[in-house]
Amino acid sequence: MSKAAPAKKPVASAPPPGCTLDINDPQVQSAAIRIQASYRGHRSRKELREKGPPRVLEPLKDVVLIEGSAAKLTCRISAFPDPFIRWSKDGKELRDGPKYRYVFEDPDVVALVVRDGELADLGQYSINVTNPFGQCSDSARILVEVPAKIQKGPDNTKARKGTTVTLTAEILGEPAPDVGWTKNGEDIEEDDRVFFEIGSTTTTLTIRRATPQDSGKYEVYVENSLGMDQSFARVDVA
């Protein structure tokens, strides 16, 4: 039986033109130095981040919330290991749930989403960031804008001559709305007998020593930059 012929060693083929690097080339050496420096810089930043307490890199900013919509407060932080995040409103902690959502957009960005905006959401919101090395915090306000509206209009009223008549409406709006009253389509000119008062949530028209001439159709209206509303009531004095 004859011996098998020894296998031939493959001959390395020359690399295609332009695919070789000369380590003695000054440009190649310069690129290598930049890569090494970049890696060392990344490693140094990582080590500093690991050892330092949380820091706020981009602070919270005030946000305007339109009634019925959602608002988001966003903060960029630096913290490692992973920190504990706590949001609060006017000093009271907010739980993550349907109304308030804790959002983590990337390792450095955290946010709070406030859903179904209403006037009660107006206030100061704070974030507290804690890890084993320390803590940091920041605050901003949510400003709520609500179209002017009449929550409950005045009731129709029957009164006797000489008595005092009051018509009251529950109002809402932010910015605070302008309020006015009319009788039979004409603006009411106030005096010490007929006048109206405006509170934070109500407005009341007062008619003292009522006479039959005070009978008529009364309107209350509210208006701000986001909208207007009105309501009517009938007064009969006999």
Query: What is the pLDDT at residue 68?
Result: 93
Arithmetic mean of pLDDT, 14-42: 55
For 106-156, the pLDDT digits (tens) are 878 999 999 999 999 999 999 999 999 999 999 999 999 999 999 999 999
The answer to whether residue 12 is domain-embedded is no
The answer to whether residue 178 is domain-embedded is yes
100 and 141 share one domain: yes
Burial of 98 (0-12, 13-18, 19+ CB in 10 A): exposed
136 and 167 share one domain: no
Residue (of 133, 128, 75) closest to 106 by Cα position: 75
Arithmetic mean of pLDDT, 61-71: 95
78 and 107 share one domain: yes
161 and 135 share one domain: no
Is this prediction's pTM over 0.75? no
44 and 139 share one domain: yes
Q: Which two tokens stand for residue 83?
A: 């920190």
Q: What is the CATH number of the domain that holds 201?
A: 2.60.40.10
123 and 193 share one domain: no
The answer to whether residue 53 is domain-embedded is yes
Task: Count structural domains, the chain.
Answer: 2
110 and 172 share one domain: no
Categorize the per-residue pLDDT at 211 as very low, low, confident or very high, splitting at 50, 70 and 90: very high
Query: What is the pLDDT at residue 3?
Result: 36
Query: What is the pLDDT at residue 20?
Result: 59
Query: What is the pLDDT at residue 183?
Result: 98
The answer to whether residue 116 is domain-embedded is yes
142 and 36 share one domain: yes
Residue that is last in its domain, among 85, 116, 146: 146
101 and 169 share one domain: no
Residue that is last in its domain, among 103, 123, 146: 146
119 and 158 share one domain: no
Any residues with CB less than 8 A from the CB of 236 and at least 6 apart, and which? 157, 158, 159, 215
117 and 182 share one domain: no
Main-chain phi, psi angles of 34, to 5 degrees: -65, -40
Domain extent at residue 214: 153-237
The answer to whether residue 167 is domain-embedded is yes
Run of H or E including 29: helix 26-51
Q: Annotate 151-170 with b (16+ C-beta within 10 A) or e (fewer).
A: eebbeebebeeeeebebbbe
Query: What is the pLDDT at residue 4?
Result: 39
Residue that is last in its domain, among 95, 124, 146: 146
The answer to whether residue 26 is domain-embedded is no
Lowest mean pLDDT among 40-54, 93-107, 141-155: 40-54
109 and 177 share one domain: no
